[in-house]
């Protein structure tokens, strides 16, 4: 699948593509410069990449950085909003889980 939902040949704006690759949980995903991490994930067919406290799948909800449903870890920095962070070539993204509060308990135990 193309990292763009609109193929370059059909793009009325005439944008040029600068390809990039990020890894998500060790899986390389293609993208183009200017896409957010959420955009790369959605173009790859992933609708969710986090589990909420109930274990329910979460992904992009608001798309503007208000709801915090799309949180991921990027290059070791936790709680990055995937809808707000532009992807950079080589970014290492790790999905997060808040299912049953395990992530919060583990963090407190580490401190």
Percent of the chain with pLDDT over 90: 49
- The three-class DSSP label of residue 36 is strand
Q: pLDDT at position 11, please?
A: 73
Question: For position 58, which CATH number holds?
Answer: 3.10.20.440
Q: Does residue 52 form part of some domain?
A: yes
* Whether the Cβ atoms of residue 95 and residue 49 lie closer than 8 Å to each other: yes
5 pLDDT exceeds 80?
no
35-68 pLDDT, tens digit each: 999 999 999 999 998 888 888 888 899 888 888 8
Q: What DSSP state is assigned to residue 107?
A: H
Q: pLDDT at position 1, please?
A: 46
Q: pLDDT at position 101, please?
A: 54
Q: How many domains does the chain have?
A: 1
4 pLDDT exceeds 60?
no
Instruction: Assign 9 a pLDDT band (cuts: 50, 70, 90).
Output: confident
Q: pLDDT at position 38, please?
A: 96
Domain that holds residue 31: 17-110
Q: Does residue 11 form part of some domain?
A: no
Q: pLDDT at position 100, please?
A: 60
Chain mean pLDDT for the chain: 84
């Amino acid at each position: 699948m193309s990292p763009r939902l609109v193929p370059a040949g059909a793009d009325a704006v005439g944008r040029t593509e600068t390809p990039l690759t990020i890894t998500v949980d060790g899986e390389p995903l293609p993208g183009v410069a200017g896409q957010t991490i959420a955009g790369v994930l959605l173009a790859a067919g992933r609708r969710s990449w986090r589990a909420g406290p109930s274990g329910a799948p979460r992904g992009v909800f608001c798309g503007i950085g208000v709801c915090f449903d799309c949180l991921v870890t990027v290059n070791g920095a936790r709680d990055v909003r995937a809808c707000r962070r532009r992807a950079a070539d080589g970014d290492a993204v790790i999905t997060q889980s808040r299912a049953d509060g395990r992530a919060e308990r583990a963090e407190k135990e580490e401190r």
